[in-house]
Structures are given as C-alpha cells and as structure tokens.
A and B are shown apart, each in its own frame.
Chain A
C-alpha cells in the first residue's frame, strides 16, 4: 500500500539531493548535524576504577582488561558515517578506540563461535554476527571528536559498528560474549530487526 501515494502539498527540503550525499545517506534517513541521544533508561556512571572489559563464551582464552590495560592496547582513529534507526544519519564522525580484531586476537575464538552478544552497564544487550565484527568493521571506542566519550553518548566506552543501525553500537559496553547460536538482544526482542542493515532499511522485525 502507499505505492504511488503523493502527500498533497509536500515539497520537501531536499537537503540530501546533492549527489555526494545521496550515496552516503541510506533510504529513509536524513542528515543530522547535532548528535541526538537515545537511551531506554538512566545514564550509568561507572567509575573508571570499577570499569573492566570482558570477552567470554566461545573463546579459548577468556580475558578481562582493566581500564588501564584496555587503554594500553593498540588503538586507532576511525572516521565513519553513522545511521540511527530513528532516521538521522551523521557523516564523518571521528572516534578513537580499539579494533575488535585486536581484542579477538587475544582471546582466540573457537571455531564454533558465530555470534556476539555485547553487554552493557544498565543491562542492555545487542547481538551481532561475529563475521560482521571482524576485518576492520567494529571497535570499542572511548573518544569522540578528540574528547573522552561523554556518559550520555556511551562513555567511558561504547561499541562502534557503523555499518549497522546505531542501536547495535552498544553504549556503556562492558564486554562481549561469543556464542554458537544467535540470541536476540534488548531492542531485537522489542520489535526491532535482528540484523539492522541501514542500506537494506532493516529497521523492524520482518523488514
């Protein structure tokens, strides 16, 4: 339904009609210059002394890093476009953090590991295919635009998986559990798509 439907009197602002932007903004998204905040509950404030990051589950060497240990890992600067399921996209965001490849090297996933459950302070979880977190596709980031990541944006550290809708980039992330069977996370059990590819507009269940 709705094919061919025209909204009487709607002309639009065409902010995205420049061709350079069109191929960077997925369908149904618009360009946002601010940085909206979207969270389901209060912002957690975990002191760095109490923070750690764990990788467990289908790995040969489960590992836990303290904040100092994590910050001593090889890190990189990342500039990527991000896309939120609430329709905004933000281009050329600059982050600093540790590649998931670097972390996985240290824990040696088993050959059966297929999926990742990211878990966060506050109880948030999200699920991702392991293959989509490898090969320079995902990071744990702790700085945004040259500044420590603010708590409301997920600080001290959040996941960054820019090729999927941004709810997959879990704020306040504290670890990854590698599993053999997929297991829907928080939003994935509340009506949102299990995968979340913005270029396929995988917003909600069944998309």
Chain B
C-alpha cells in the first residue's frame, strides 16, 4: 500500500472522470459528506484534494476544489466533506441538491505538499479551523487504518458544539487509539454547551504552547483553516521555535476575514487548497 507510485508526480494528465454518488451524510447543519465510487481512481495521499466540475444544461460550467476526507485505503471510493457557503455557487449544489445515484465530474488527486503518509513519522500536530478539519481527517483516518503509532494531537477550533465536524468519530478514534495515540482538543469560539470543559476562545499562542509537542521531538505540523486562523497558528508555532519547513499550511478565504470557522462570504476554496 505504501509503495504505490506517488499520485500526482507521474506527469500523466489528470483526466476528468465521473464518480457515482454512493452515500451522503449530514455531518453538521452546514456540512455534508459525499462518498463517490470512482472506477479509475489512481489513488491519493492523505491531505490531497480534487477539482469538481458542474455543468448546466446549456453548457455553463463551474469548477471548485475540495479536500478528500477519506483515507487512501478506501480507494476507489473517496469521500469529500463540503461546507455550504450561503453565497457560494458550487457548495450549495453539493450540500443541498446532489443525492445518491447522481454522478459528479471530478479530476485528481491534486496537491503534493500538504500530505501525510505513515512513513512521514511524527509526532504529528494537526491544527484545524472549521472545515479545515477535512484534509486532516484523511490523515487521522489513514493513521488508524494502517496502524501507525505516530503520536498525534489535533487542536480543532469550531464556532459551536453543533458545528464540530466528525465529533463522534473523533471520540471513537481517540478511544480506540488507547494510550499510544491520538489526542483531540477542541476549542469553541462562539458558544459552549453547559458543562463544556474544553477551550472557549480563538486559537492563540498560549493555547498552542499547551498543546504543542516539545521541540526536541521535531514535530511535523499541518494547519488548515481560514487565512487569519492559519496565520495565527503558524506564526505561533514559529514563535515557539518550530522549524518553518516542518509546518505545512493550507489557507482558505481572503485576508481580514473574521471568525475562526471556514465559512466566509468570499471564501475561495472551502476544504482548502494552496496553489498561489
């Protein structure tokens, strides 16, 4: 499994393919997971994304990128988790209209840097803001699926308890990982349920210092979320002495956006992708 040729490095053209929608799942009131069977899927690495292309009857098309949430071991099935942007063009279709039995045109996998493989080692620090959890979830799921014991911590910022994507699955993965493994810390920035014992503020340097691995363990970090969130998290880790080259980021949305979750009016790439 790990010795498969690395997708996206081969130079062959990424062709548009049709995937069959096998299942959908409401993750939160705004986010939905879509599982597709893609017959000629060439395999992916955790953290990569796909381009989606929608075509109207008159030929009008719209394309966007979405992160893959499923681990590579599930190929040729892939799952995307899409958060609806209210003024978006593609995400409302994917969340509200697309249903089992439909087909969806896609090409990928895309992105060769924001990726984790079992032999990337650890310890791993994953930092997610809102729907920025999606590519990190592919890493967490792959880690569990291949039995990696890379020590892993996830710091995950959501606006409210109801908006935590994959909340129950994360709890289960923590339980299953036993003492060797996966720790999850949540922060809720907008509202907290009664009795909440997690963090209840936006991510900051102090929070990261409490969660981060000791420097001497040479942690590998992946940060994904809205631009100001990622700027804060990455700058904080650099301030703690983390090596910049071992901090990988994906940002979405414009500068100056408020809120620590992934739904900006002008957001470019929900689910995240870096290309500039």
- A and B pair up: yes
With known contacts A34-B266, A87-B65, A8–B102 Cβ distance under 8 A: yes
Residues A38 and B231 in contact, CB atoms below 8 Å apart: no
Neighbour of B56 across the interface among A7, A122, A169, CB < 8 A: A7
Note all chain A residues with C-beta closer than 8 A to B257. 34
Note all chain B residues with C-beta closer than 8 A to A38. 250-251, 268-269, 273-276
Neighbour of A9 across the interface among B17, B93, B238, CB < 8 A: B93
Q: How far is the CB of B33 from chain A (nearest CB, A)?
A: 19
Neighbour of A42 across the interface among B110, B113, B249, CB < 8 A: B249
Q: A205 — nearest CB in chain B belongs to which residue? A: B11
In the complex, which range does the number of interface residues on chain B fall in? Answer: 35 or more
With known contacts A34-B266, A38-B251, A190-B9, A2–B60 Cβ distance under 8 A: no
List which B30-80 residues lie within 8 A (CB) of chain A.
51, 53-57, 60-65
List which B230-276 residues lie within 8 A (CB) of chain A.
231, 234-235, 237-238, 244-245, 247-255, 257, 264, 266-269, 273-276
Q: How far is the CA of A81 from the CA of B275 in the complex (A)?
A: 17
Q: A194 — nearest CB in chain B belongs to which residue? A: B11
Q: How far is the CA of A170 from the CA of B111 in the complex (A)?
A: 17
Q: How far is the CA of A191 from the CA of B115 in the complex (A)?
A: 13
How many contacting A-B pairs (Cβ < 8 A)?
Answer: 183
Q: How far is the CA of A37 from the CA of B234 in the complex (A)?
A: 14
Q: How far is the CA of A203 from the CA of B64 in the complex (A)?
A: 13
Neighbour of A190 across the interface among B97, B113, B234, B245, CB < 8 A: B113
Neighbour of B253 across the interface among A14, A36, A206, CB < 8 A: A36
Cβ of B114 within 8 Å of any chain A Cβ, yes or no, is yes
Interface centre among B62, B63, B234, B249 (most CB of A within 10 A): B62
Cβ of A132 within 8 Å of any chain B Cβ, yes or no, is no
Q: How far is the CB of B116 from chain A (nearest CB, A)?
A: 14
Note all chain A residues with C-beta closer than 8 A to B18. 1-2, 5
Interface centre among B12, B18, B65, B268 (most CB of A within 10 A): B268
List which B1-22 residues lie within 8 A (CB) of chain A.
8-18
Residues B89 and A2 in contact, CB atoms below 8 Å apart: no
Cβ of B27 within 8 Å of any chain A Cβ, yes or no, is no
With known contacts A152-B255, A153-B255, A206-B11, A6–B55 Cβ distance under 8 A: yes
Cβ of A139 within 8 Å of any chain B Cβ, yes or no, is no
Neighbour of B13 across the interface among A34, A44, A187, A207, CB < 8 A: A207
- 14 A-B contacts (beta carbon < 8 Å): A8-B97, A9-B98, A35-B255, A37-B276, A38-B251, A41-B249, A85-B276, A86-B273, A88-B268, A152-B255, A169-B276, A190-B113, A191-B8, A191-B110
B-contacting residues of A (Cβ < 8 Å)? 1-2, 5-15, 17, 28, 30, 32-44, 84-88, 122-123, 150, 152-153, 165-167, 169, 171, 186-187, 189-192, 203-207
A-contacting residues of B (Cβ < 8 Å)? 8-18, 51, 53-57, 60-65, 89, 93, 97-98, 102-105, 110-114, 227, 231, 234-235, 237-238, 244-245, 247-255, 257, 264, 266-269, 273-276
